């Protein structure tokens, strides 16, 4: 949530490179300088770094599973259970889509007050967006869990906002369990909305 891992070519370069994309707008190379660049974002602030970044043209873009970066530090099964986390099962990207029931709510966590996966004109979630369930969000807060580790996010940027979505019964999503990745344990519940949600399904946001 809030990040994507992509593989793409630069102009006139036939070799593939990997990048982390923050909030659908800031691209950072996933290379030997990534950790230093990530620290720089935290030190100077996202807005400042974005404002002085150059435009980058990429081609043949492909979104990767987060598990391609598989450094993991594993919590014990007991600690996972104590945080109401889950183990085993597949990630959302590996499961078949199901229909929402029109009642359940989903939550997208983000560091950003203007998360670009939320279409505030049509009041919907955009295509290819990840969320968690409202129940898992409540467990994350109730047990004072670390959302970055629970949802195996590729950055340590602090989660500041929770966006609430209530899909219609004809909206589809792929449910799953967050897999260990990015040096995080995962174990939260995730939902991937390949086609986003219908108009007027975004309910609003609250501070995390």
Q: What does the DSSP assignment read for 148-167?
A: HHHTT-SS-PPP-EEEEE--
Q: Answer for the pair 185, 75: CB distance below 8 angstroms, yes or no.
A: yes
Q: What is the mean pLDDT of residues 45-74?
A: 69
pLDDT tier at 6, thresholds 50, 70, 90 = confident
In terms of pLDDT, which residue wins out, 198 or 69? 198
pLDDT value for 2: 63
pTM of the model: 0.70
Q: What is the CA radius of gyration of the chain?
A: 17
Where is pLDDT greater, at 184 or 159? 159
Dist CA 65 CA 106 (whole Å): 21
Q: Within 13 Å of residue 113, how many CA atoms lie on the same side as its CB?
A: 3
61-115 pLDDT, tens digit each: 887 765 555 444 455 555 667 788 987 789 999 999 999 999 999 999 999 899 9
pLDDT for the residue numbered 71: 46
β-pair partners for 146:
none
Q: What is the pLDDT of residues 130-175, one digit of tens each?
A: 999 999 999 999 999 999 999 998 777 899 999 999 999 999 999 9
The pLDDT value given to residue 135: 96
């Amino acid at each position: 949530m809030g990040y994507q891992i992509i593989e793409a070519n630069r102009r006139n370069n036939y070799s593939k490179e990997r990048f982390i994309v923050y909030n659908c707008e800031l691209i950072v190379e996933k290379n030997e300088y990534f950790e230093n660049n990530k620290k720089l974002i935290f030190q100077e602030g996202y807005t400042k770094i974005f404002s002085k970044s150059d435009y980058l043209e990429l081609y043949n873009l492909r979104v990767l599973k987060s598990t391609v970066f598989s450094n993991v530090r594993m919590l014990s099964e007991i600690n996972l259970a104590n945080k109401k986390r889950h183990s085993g099962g597949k990630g959302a990207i590996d499961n078949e889509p199901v229909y929402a029931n029109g009642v359940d709510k989903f939550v997208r966590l983000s560091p950003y007050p203007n998360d670009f996966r939320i279409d505030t004109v049509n009041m919907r979630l955009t295509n290819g967006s990840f969320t968690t369930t409202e129940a898992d969000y409540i467990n994350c807060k109730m047990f004072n869990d670390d959302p970055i580790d629970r949802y195996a996010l590729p950055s340590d940027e602090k989660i500041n906002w929770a966006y609430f979505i209530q899909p219609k019964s004809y909206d589809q999503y792929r449910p799953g369990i967050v897999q260990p990745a990015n040096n995080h344990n995962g174990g939260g519940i995730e939902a991937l909305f390949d086609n986003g949600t219908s108009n007027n399904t975004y309910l609003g946001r609250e501070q995390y």
